């Protein structure tokens, strides 16, 4: 029981260092702006950019400016969006 708990904590810590922010899966979503899976603030989003040269996607983490929230329906930051996520 104790060992299991320590193992899980170690894995979580490793993941955090290895990849600070969870990004949307760009391969699954395609190019565009998408909500980040672990974000419950509605401010963070992932910009997926398709790289033709090597047939892969690059994922960039972005945060909406101060007063705006990421609206997944419009795929952009808006000041009138109400954050309804239950994640986290």
Binding site residues, ligand NAG, CB under 6 A: 21-22, 25, 27-28, 36, 38-39, 44, 51, 53-54, 56, 58, 63, 78, 80
User: With respect to ligand NAG, which residue has the nearer C-beta, 6 or 16?
Assistant: 16
Region of residue 35 (phi > 0: left; psi between -120 and 50: alpha; otherwise: beta): beta
Tell me which residue has tokens 């007063």.
67
- The span from the CA of 9 to the CA of 14, in Å, is 9
User: With respect to ligand NAG, which residue has the nearer C-beta, 8 or 58?
Assistant: 58
Q: How far is the CB of 27 from ligand NAG (least distance, A)?
A: 4
Q: How far is the CB of 56 from ligand NAG (least distance, A)?
A: 4
Q: How far is the CB of 45 from ligand NAG (least distance, A)?
A: 9
Region of residue 32 (phi > 0: left; psi between -120 and 50: alpha; otherwise: beta): left
DSSP bridge pairs for 33? 47
């Amino acid at each position: 029981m104790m060992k299991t708990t320590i193992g899980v904590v170690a894995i979580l810590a490793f993941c955090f260092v290895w990849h600070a922010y969870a990004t949307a899966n760009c391969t699954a979503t395609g190019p565009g702006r998408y909500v980040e899976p672990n974000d419950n603030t509605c401010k963070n989003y992932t910009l997926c950019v398709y790289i033709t040269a090597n047939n892969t996607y690059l994922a960039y983490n972005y945060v909406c400016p101060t007063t705006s929230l990421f609206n997944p329906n419009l795929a952009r930051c808006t000041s009138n969006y109400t954050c309804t996520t239950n994640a986290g």
